[in-house]
A and B are shown apart, each in its own frame.
Chain A
Amino acid sequence: ETGVTQTPRHLVMGMTNKKSLKCEQHLGHNAMYWYKQSAKKPLELMFVYNFKEQTENNSVPSRFSPECPNSSHLFLHLHTLQPEDSALYLCASSQGQSSNQPQHFGDGTRLSIL
């Protein structure tokens, strides 16, 4: 079992659907992250939570809504998505946000918008 688990692994949805991505970390970390990975582009940081408090929102459209109920769980609620939102969504966690702490990643959710 990996330290960071993401479900579902694949998700296909229409533009009018509402769905949620789930991330759970078993590493005792207190910081969690959502990234968007599109083909041939650098990873884009979307949201950061530190001790359940959102510390970063990198100009992400409101159709993406994060939720962090505790330090081990992170959700990304999706609604009214656009075709350009199709990508791999990666969750990561780390022991704090300080510079020397590496981030540990899940396997990602491959999202396809019809």
Chain B
Amino acid sequence: AQTVTQSQPEMSVQEAETVTLSCTYDTSESDYYLFWYKQPPSRQMILVIRQEAYKQQNATENRFSVNFQKAAKSFSLKISDSQLGDAAMYFCAYKGSNYQLIWGAGTKLIIKP
């Protein structure tokens, strides 16, 4: 069975600095999708970025980018120029052939002004 691990329960970063959130996963599949979701105090889970496993190029969405290392089964999220509005829980998720999202336990990101 697939698993997703987020080893950092909490991270903090100074406003305008860069922070990297880690995520590792375990799977025997070769074709799958990976996602990062953000959940602010408003509780709505918001898609931040997604990566298709067959694409070698790392996905980028404005200040958010990923470092996808397929062989190492690692999918970290880098947030550049951190803003106060980035404070939230961040969840890494895997989606494979059974179409179910497998979630990590989350990382709480604190932005220091």
- Please report A residues at the B interface, Cβ cutoff 8 Å: 2, 40-43, 45, 48, 56, 88, 90, 92, 97-100, 102-108, 110
In the assembly, what is the distance between CA of A66 and CA of B38, in Å? 26
Asked if A56 and B100 sit within 8 Å, CB to CB, the answer is yes
Pairs A–B under 8 Å by Cβ, sample size 13: A42-B4, A43-B91, A45-B100, A48-B100, A97-B99, A99-B97, A100-B33, A100-B50, A102-B35, A104-B47, A105-B46, A108-B43, A110-B43
Give the chain B neighbours of A43 by CB distance below 8 A: 91, 101, 103
**In the complex, B42 has a CB within 8 A of chain A:** yes
In the assembly, what is the distance between CA of A107 and CA of B100, in Å? 20
Give the chain B neighbours of A90 by CB distance below 8 A: 43, 45
Count B interface residues, CB 8 Å: 27
**In the complex, B30 has a CB within 8 A of chain A:** no
Cβ proximity bits B86-105 to A, threshold 8 Å, 1 near / 0 not: 00000100011101111111
Give the chain B neighbours of A102 by CB distance below 8 A: 35, 47, 50
Give the chain B neighbours of A41 by CB distance below 8 A: 105
- 6 A-B pairs closest in CB distance: A105-B45, A42-B103, A97-B99, A43-B103, A108-B43, A102-B47
**In the complex, B64 has a CB within 8 A of chain A:** no
CB distance from A86 to the nearest CB of B (A): 15
Asked if B91 and A107 sit within 8 Å, CB to CB, the answer is no
In the assembly, what is the distance between CA of A76 and CA of B31, in Å? 33
Residue of A nearest to B47 (CB): A102
Q: Which residues in chain B, 24-40, are within 8 Å of chain A measured between CB atoms?
A: 31-33, 35, 37
Give the chain B neighbours of A42 by CB distance below 8 A: 4, 91, 102-106
Give the chain B neighbours of A103 by CB distance below 8 A: 45, 47, 101
Given A45-B100, A97-B99, A99-B32; A40-B105 close (CB under 8 Å): yes
**In the complex, B15 has a CB within 8 A of chain A:** no
